[in-house]
Chains A and B, each alone.
Chain A
Amino acid sequence: SYVLTQPPSVSVAPGKTARITCGGNNIGSKSVHWYQQKPGQAPVLVIYYDSDRPSGIPERFSGSNSGNTATLTISRVEAGDEADYYCQVWDSSSDHVFGTGTKVTVL
């Protein structure tokens, strides 16, 4: 089965840049989506098809995908960005796969 690996946690100071990685075998050949989940809430789509942003998502959120790693970048981090973040792909053999999740802490 296809596995997506994320760092358990990332800490970042306000105003700085957070980078959250999502590792998978040849993930660059797949489309990656990213979700933000705040405590007690349902996930929210923040990046889709590697680098597209849904309407209403700040430009501070961006994504890239190449080789064996996809990356979600949050620029000029704010306190409100503190949340869990999950990557997700569709794989022909495993169907829908979510990453292990990364907790972003704003210092």
Chain B
Amino acid sequence: QVQLQESGPGLVKPSETLSLTCTVSGGSISSYYWSWIRQPPGKGLEWIGYIYYSGSTNYNPSLKSRVTISVDTSKNQFSLKLSSVTAADTAVYYCARYAAGGRDGYKSPVDYWGQGTLVTVSS
């Protein structure tokens, strides 16, 4: 059973960079696409971006200028960096896996989610 676990600071100051890591256990990070999705308190889900195990990425255009997603296959981890954060970036951040492996896997649904981690942007 694949499990995902987010880790990182729960409090980030405005204008600084939010950094989170997702550790994958119970399966290999290889051959799949991996995603970050967030949910502001009381609001809906927003896709942030995804990365293939090979390192290719795609980001939500509304966040593209501030987002970097990277992967470390040796550690079975992938990471999110979001720069110049404001209070609007306060949210529960989920890491997730797309169900289908292979090059078109990013078109498939999300089948595994992390439990989510709340990141608050405040001074």
Binding site for B on A (CB under 8 A): 1, 31, 33, 35, 41-45, 48-49, 54, 86, 88, 90, 95-101
Say what secondary structure dominates the interface of chain A: strand
Which residues of chain A have C-beta atoms less than 8 A from B50's C-beta? 96
A86/B44 in contact, CB under 8 A: yes
State whether the Cβ of B122 lies closer than 8 Å to any Cβ in chain A: no
Interface residue from A42, A86, A97 paired with B113 (Cβ < 8 Å): A42
Range for the number of chain B residues in contact with chain A? 20 to 34
CB of B107 within 8 Å of the partner chain: yes
Question: In the complex, which residues 61-97 of chain B have their Cβ closer than 8 Å to any Cβ of chain A?
Answer: 61, 94
Measured between alpha carbons, how far is A1 from B61 in the docked complex, in Å?
A: 10
Q: Which residues on the A side are within 8 Å of B111 (C-beta)?
A: 45, 54
Contact A95 B47 (CB under 8 A): yes
Q: How far is the CB of A19 from chain B (nearest CB, A)?
A: 20
Q: Which residues of chain B have C-beta atoms less than 8 A from A42's C-beta?
A: 94, 113-116
Bound together, the chains give a CA A17 to CA B114 distance in angstroms of 31
Contacts of B116 in A (CB 8 A): 42
Whether B109 contacts A98 by the Cβ 8 Å rule is no
